[in-house]
A = this chain, B = another copy of it.
């Protein structure tokens, strides 16, 4: 059973490149090219092979193509985005110019929910949030797989998660973790869009890596 294959340096370098070139894709980039079922299958296969606490697999993927449903989600975005605009007081004009979602432009939306467990889960007894984190791992697997298949994914978080749950008839207790817009893109940027637009800078590695323990300053 311990005989799973070892990967080569070339294969590891391919993964590093997929990771480096993965992007958040917004509405202005999605094209009309249809998304074949077997591509969607490959995305779901990647998601379903994510790690999960206690192998609990606490995820549910709601695949939405229906335009009326997506329009209702878009309304939730519009409302949340108006509220967000208020928060960025000194950068309002800059914020207002950003295209932050592709709910209607992408041919497929996937709402990813966490389904709380019905019995105790191994590994989740002291850090309950690891259930939600498992769902996030599934989203990241799907996102990387999409990039490898040259499919664009955008994660929309400017939404009222309860509202989206109601639109999709989510049973009591389900929790929206991510709302994804998925489709072919006309291209992929070399860098994150918010970096190109100078909304935010990439941090130095030293700012994120600490040896042994935090130092008292």
Chain A interface residues toward B at CB < 8 A = 1-7, 11-12, 14-24, 29, 42, 44-46, 48-51, 53-57, 59-66, 69, 80, 83-84, 87-88, 95, 98, 100, 120, 122-127, 129-130, 132-133, 136-137, 139-141, 143-145, 147-150, 155, 157-161, 167-171, 174, 177-178, 186-192, 194-196, 199-200, 202-203, 205, 208-216
Number of copies: 2
**Contact residues in B for A200 (Cβ distance below 8 Å):** 54-56, 122
**Residues in chain B near residue A145, CB distance under 8 A:** 12, 15-16, 19
A64 to chain B, nearest CB (A): 6
The docked-state distance in angstroms from the alpha carbon of A12 to that of B151 is 11
Evaluate contact between B216 and A148: CB separation under 8 angstroms.
no
A16-B148, A63-B211, A136-B136 known; 15 new pairs, CB 8 Å cut-off, are A2-B186, A4-B23, A4-B187, A12-B145, A48-B203, A55-B202, A57-B203, A60-B210, A62-B210, A83-B125, A84-B125, A126-B157, A126-B161, A132-B133, A133-B139
Q: Given contacts A194-B122, A200-B55, are A169 and B215 in contact (CB under 8 A)?
A: yes
**With contacts A60-B208, A61-B210 known, is A159 near B192, CB below 8 A?**
no
- Identity of the chain B residue whose Cβ is nearest the Cβ of A53 in the assembled complex: B157
